[in-house]
Structure 1
Amino acid sequence: MERAIIDSEGVVVDFGNGAGIFDQTYQVPAGTILGMIGPSGCGKTTTCRVALGLLAPQRGRITTLGRTPTRFTATDREQIGYIPQQFVLYPRLSVAENIQFVASLYGMPARFVRERMAELLAFVDLQDARNRLGQHLSGGMQRRLMLVSALMHDPVLLFADEPTAGIDPVLRARFWEYFRQLRDQGRTLVVTTQVVSEAIHCDYVAVMRQGRILALDTPANLRRLAFSGEIIDVTLADPDDMPRALATLRRWKDVVRSARPAPNAESDADLHVVVEDAREWLPEVLARLNNQRPRIVAASAAPLEVSYDEIFIKLMRQDEQRQEEAEHG
């Protein structure tokens, strides 16, 4: 893994009654987007607050930008931007006045403020609203104003806590476009969300439940983790060939991890074959069936595109099952 901007090992913050974060070990490589995905109350905000130095771990250790967050200097904090869940700027100041106020906290020269503000307002399409009061902005515009404020001092690390909550799909897509542009400029981003489908926009995804990180990997590898590989969806020309097809594929243990009738399939001829790489092994699977005597003919076959909602649900259920097994010995 590349140089870690955040490096957490065994971090615990226990608020009691099961609330908090537990045994958090993870790294965020430089120049990537880490998406933290999980239901409300699973510990996403607490995880960010620990990395920001706003909460101290009770156990474990964490560094952000190579330093212990609770010991950050003012210079350290100037390298970090933070977008909280709620609108925290001044409702009776204009867009421009809010941005100027934030810039003043960092001692930025007036000339640089004007240039940087013009650049960022154009970046988030707020040029025409620069004189509008904060209280007269829509929710989406307030989120964009907070993004501008968090970027004014040009941080290398940005935390965004559920920045797309409650906004329409078009604006949500624009936010992710902004985030990818920031990533491509060399910044590192930590973005929390309850919208599971947003995993596709991230370089790495941490799936969270009850204060713990269940899995952290690339979106593609999370799919393989949840389903023990990738799935090839095969429809047989003759449903009567299903028993022979399953037996043939299950004997191919060095390639096929599992083969079973497709769940909830409309046809008795559908089966799912799990392999490491669906696109790589699809031709070989078809050839293996075709080489049987008599031949087993596939009417169609293609890699199965599993939604991230399905992946998330699968990982949650696997964790629930592990907990139940641990409780019952």
Structure 2
Amino acid sequence: AFAVIANSPLRIDLSCVLDHVVSELTAFLRKANRALRQATLGTLNSLVVTYGGQIGSSSYETIIAELSTLISDIDLHMAALALELCCTIMVDRRSIKNVGLAVRHKVLPQALVLIRSALLQGQALQALQKFFASLVQSANTSFETLLDSLISTAKPSQSGSLSKQALSSIAQCVAVLCLAAGDQKCASTVEMLKGILNDDSSTNSAKQHMALLCLGEIGRRKDLSNHVQIENIVIESFQSPFEEIKSAASYALGNIAVGNLSKYLPFILDQIDNQQKKQYLLLHSLKEVIARQSVDHTGQSELQDSNIVKILALLFNHCESEEEGVRNVVAECLGKIALIEPNKLIPALKVWSVDISKVTPPCFIYFMI
């Protein structure tokens, strides 16, 4: 009922009962009934949006303390709702020092534990990204401290290295944090990450791995062409003896290209043609570029027609590669193109299939699957 009232355009005055309602609802967050806790989080969110200015600072601190206990991978949907409520509070009351302190002391530690979970994905991951973006903009919050906290969570523990999903989650949150902090902070972070890759004396593969993942996630969201030679610095990591570093470098290069297709896509295509030893990794970079393209309501992708023609010509040319791995990635790239540009791919396939060799059919069949 109170959720309906809070969402009503009538803006009904609840000042006489608001404190009591908030107190009662906050107590419900400790109940075992999952449906009750879920409904409570939604109602509190609506009340904060509509009546946030009438809720006292101490009530906010109590809400934050209670919702922090729900942030774990035991129930990711509940964790997402709790994080969304926390974000609503921070956005609405970001100027209140006590709110920022309560979030940093109660919610942030839980968020840093959650981000290491291999189960984190979907709505919960999106809510966590929004949480870090909101937190960096709240009162008396240090961007540098938050960045260090996030990167530190990626360090291997006594129980072993983090899962691939956890490292990806951390990198995504780092990227969102940097963008929310502004261009200057984002640029300085990119330079710091470049420095990690440029440090020839560094033997910390985990640190380099994380740097590459972060560069990829930032580059996917922001044009990094102002950072000189970043593509060459990333591609140098293809020489690493560690497979996870080479894979991360391929991922980073592809996602950096997404941020500025006109600059980096020709570079990748040229490298594929001229760097035979790196073809497999470069094709994975190209696959990232293709996979990240969105399609608008008219069915058009972000890739220009001329780029599609060049990509198809290159892929068909490498369908007959002697390396099975290269042929498989080519097939995956063709499959990705089929999802965004079927009208251009099908006619090209008809022409190509007329002169099909004995090596190519497996690649064609794999693509069709």
User: When the two structures are superposed, what TM-score results if normalisation uses the length of structure 1?
Assistant: 0.27
The structure with higher relative contact order (CA 8 Å, sep 6+) is 1
Higher helix share: 2
User: When the two structures are superposed, what TM-score results if normalisation uses the length of structure 2?
Assistant: 0.25
